[in-house]
Structures are given as structure tokens and as C-alpha cells.
Amino acid sequence: MATMSDVAERAGVTLSTVSYVLSGKRAISAPTRQRVLDAIEELDFQPNQLGRALAQRRSNTMALLFPELTRGIGEHQLEIITSAAETASQHGFSFLLSISKDEETEVVHLAQRGFVDGLILMAIKQRDPRVELLRHRHFPFAMIGHGEDNDGISFVDVDFLDAVREALRYLAGLGHRRVAFLGSSDALLDSGYGPAVRTFAGFEQGSAELGLEGTWHPCDTTPREAYAVVEELLRTSPDVTALVTAHHEAIGGMVQAARELGRRIPDDLSLVAITSPRQAEAFIPALTTMDFPAAEMGRIGVELLIRQLEAEGGELEPIHRLLHAELTVRQSSGPAPER
């Protein structure tokens, strides 16, 4: 069995450097940290005393990895995290929230230090390196979200593809032909972030199926950015009669831009958002939504992990849950205006 000394020798560093990488107690340069992590992988190193002790008795602690602190915790994320924490507590588990920007290193730390029994991953990319790290270590984890390869992994997610298509079907039924979608930024799409990829695919498919003149507009999640995008859109394309978005944080900017250009909601412009009912009722007029089941996602994510932790040996069949976003019609949508 490999030791810390073996890791230090393979990485060409001191024993204390390996210790600092594992504990996170001291800043280590990125190249040095990567050499240590590579050595850990190559040698399949596992911590000894603490790891063996905790292998024999559970810590009754789980952690949720949320790597999006730079963009803030939005309404959806907060509801998911709160629901997950409450569900964990109801089952007798302590709950940790990790917001480390160095996602892969944090996964290694949590999986190897033995402080948690299992992990829940959020903000899943189509090809997420955290997944392979945990698979390789056979460490219990579940996902809120899903990627391209979900073989052997339990997850819960919203069916974003269907949610967007259903929103378009609803608008088409009201006579709207020119529909714009305020979607994720190009950078987020290029990163393979699951919800961004699937909303884009749903909009393209739905527009083609329904014969809509649909246009996709990349946009950051801030109200200021959404205001600028919608103002430009309505000035240059005044025949757009409906907007759809999953950017619940940015809806205030969209509404303000429409009002300043004299576009009344819903008489001149319909608005449909993929967001929570609580967020929908915060606006005037109240938003028509594809209701985002945030609390249910948090609850199920924790239950999927606990199911693994409480299994009495053997392999469990993974559970894949795609939740349906229900359409709730409120005051922000109506028939397409006559031109």
C-alpha cells in the first residue's frame, strides 16, 4: 500500500507539502499541487489512520459541492440547498456546503480525508471531471443534474429540454410566431454546463417543430445585462412578441427594458420564465412559469445518496429522475398582439 512518503517521492516534493495539499491548511502553488494530485492518482494512495478508522464507522455527514460562488447563489440554488440540508437533518445526517473554486482538489480532499460519508454534486457539466474522480475511488455520490455519461450514477434533474419545448408550445398556441430566448452566455455553453446545453437544444428543437421564428440571445444572469440585451432586441426586432428565459435572476432587467420601450406585458409582449413559483409571484404582473421544482430536487438528491450509504452490500441499480416542470399561467402572458 502506498504511503505519503511514496507520494512525496513520486511528486518530487517534501512530506509536509503532501500533507498541506491533503489538508488544505497552507496555500500550495497550482503546478506543485497538481504534481501531488497526479502522484496520488498514479499510486492510488489512500490516507491511513483516519481513513481506516472512518471506514469502520460512519461520520453521518454528507457534503454538497456547489462550485458557482463567483456567480452567486440564486433563488433556485438556495431552495435546492435549503431542502437538501433539511432532508439530511431529518435522516440524522450533518450537512456541509462546499464552495471551493478548485473543484477537483476539493473532491479529492473530501473523499480522502474521511470527514464525510458521501458527496452530492451540483452544477454538472456534460463531461464533468469530478465524476471520474469519484468513480475511480468508488466513493459514494449522487448528482443534482446530469451529464453525457451517467452509467452507474444516481441523479435527479429538471427536464430542461421538455420545459423549453412546452413553453414554446404554449406560446405558439396563443398565436406567437416571433419568440426570443434569453439564454446562457457563450462561455457557459462552451463549458458544457448541463442546463445551458439542454435549454439551447430545447429551444432549437421546439422552434423547428413548431415553425417559429425563434432567436437565441446569449446573456449573463445580471439584471443589467438582461436589460441591455432586451432593449437592443426590441429596438432592432420590434415584431418579437414573446420572451422566454431561465435567467430568473435577470427578469427584473427584462421587464424594465420592455416597459421603457412602451411594450406592455402581456398586451404587447408575453414573458414566460423557467423559475420557482415564489419568484414568479414577486413580479407585477405575476410571471407565467414553467415551475422549477427546486425543493424536490434537493430532497431527492439527498435521498439518493442516503440510499447508497445504507445499502447492505452489493451494487444498487442507479436511479435516474427527470422531473417535469409544470406550466402555471399567470398575468405575464397572453395572445399574440395583432400587427
Nearest in space to 144 (alpha carbons), one of 320, 301, 276: 301
| pLDDT score for 69 | 46
The C-alpha torsion from 250 through 253 and 259 to 263, rounded to 10°, is -50
Looking at residue 332, the DSSP 8-state letter turns out to be: T
| Antiparallel, parallel or unpaired: β 155-158 and 141-144 | parallel
**Among the listed ranges 14-18, 22-26, 185-189, 252-256, which one has the minimum average pLDDT value?**
22-26
pLDDT tens for 168-177 read 999 999 999 9
Tell which wins on pLDDT, 72 or 147: 147
Strands lying side by side in the sheet with 118-121 = 94-98, 61-65, 118-121, 141-144, 155-158, 320-323
pTM of the model: 0.79
pLDDT of residue 180: 97
Q: Which of 42-56, 67-81, 145-159, 304-318 has the lowest mean pLDDT?
A: 42-56
Residues 185, 218: contact at Cβ < 8 Å? Answer: yes
Q: How far is CA 29 from the centre of its chain?
A: 29
Split at pLDDT 50, 70, 90, the class of 44 is: confident
Give the pLDDT of residue 243: 97
Mean pLDDT score of the chain? 87
Distance separating alpha carbons of residues 167 and 325, to the nearest angstrom: 10
Residue 326 has pLDDT above 80, yes or no: yes
> For residue 293, is pLDDT > 70?
yes
The more confidently predicted of residues 234 and 20 is: 234
Q: Which three cell numbers stand for residue 204?
A: 432549437
Mean pLDDT of 257-262: 94
Q: Express each pLDDT in 52-100 by its tens digit.
A: 434 445 678 899 988 764 456 667 788 999 999 999 998 888 998 888 7
Q: Name the β-bridge partners of 244.
A: 181, 272
Q: Where are the alpha helices (DSSP H) in the chain?
A: 4-11, 15-23, 30-43, 49-56, 75-90, 103-113, 129-137, 160-173, 186-190, 194-210, 223-236, 251-260, 277-280, 294-309
Burial tier of 270 (Cβ tally within 10 Å: 0-12, 13-18, 19+): buried
Structural domains present in the chain = 1-45 (1.10.260.40), 160-292 (3.40.50.2300)
Coil vs helix vs strand at 37: helix
